[in-house]
Amino acid sequence: MNTTLKSALVSVFYKDGLEPLIQALHKNGVTLYSTGGTRKFIEDLGIPCVAVEDVTGYPSILGGRVKTLHPKVFGGILARRENAQDLAELAQYEIPLYDLVIVDLYPFAETVAAGGTEQDIIEKIDIGGVSLIRAAAKNFAHTCIVANKSDYSYFLEQYQTGNGQISAAVRRNLAARAFATTGEYDRQIADWFNGVKSYPLRYGENPHQKAEFRGNLEAVFTKLQGKELSYNNLLDVDSSLCLLRDFNPENGATFVIVKHNNACGVATRPTVLQAWTDALACDPVSAFGGILATNHSVDLETARKIDDLFFEVLLAPGYSPEALELLEAKKNRIILQTHNAPFRQTLTRSVLNGELVQDRDSALEQSADMNPVTTTLPTAGQLSDLEFALKLVKHTKSNTIVLAKNNQLLASGTGQTSRVDALNQAIEKANRFGFDLEGAVMASDAFFPFPDCVEIADKAGIRAVVQPGGSIKDQASIDYCNENGLAMVMTGIRHFKH
- Spatial CA neighbour of 52 closest among 6, 86, 98, 14: 98
Burial class of residue 13 (count of CB atoms within 10 Å of its CB; 0-12, 13-18, 19+): middle
- 6, 15, 72, 138: the catalytic one is 138
What Rg value do the Cα atoms of the chain yield, rounded? Answer: 32
CB 212 within 8 A of CB 200: yes
Residue type, 338: T
**Phi, psi (degrees; rounded to nearest 5) at 449:** -75, -20
Torsion sign, CA atoms 481, 482, 485, 487: positive
**CA distance linking residue 347 with residue 238, whole number of Å:** 13
Interacting residues of 205 by C-beta distance below 8 A, sequence separation 6+: 211, 231, 232
Which three-class secondary structure string do you get for 5-47?
CCEEEEEECCCCCCHHHHHHHHHCCCEEEECHHHHHHHHHCCC
Catalytic (active site) residue 149: no
Alpha carbon separation from 327 to 48, 278, 307, 423 (Å, rounded): 68, 20, 6, 37
CB 101 within 8 A of CB 133: yes
Alpha carbon separation from 57 to 68, 248, 485 (Å, rounded): 11, 67, 92
Catalytic (active site) residue 138: yes
- Spatial CA neighbour of 77 closest among 145, 154, 16: 145
- 260, 391, 394, 495: the catalytic one is 260
**CA distance linking residue 144 with residue 137, whole number of Å:** 7
SS3 content of the chain, % helix, strand, coil (to 5): 40, 20, 35
CB 126 within 8 A of CB 68: no
Give the residue numbers marked as catalytic.
Answer: 138, 260
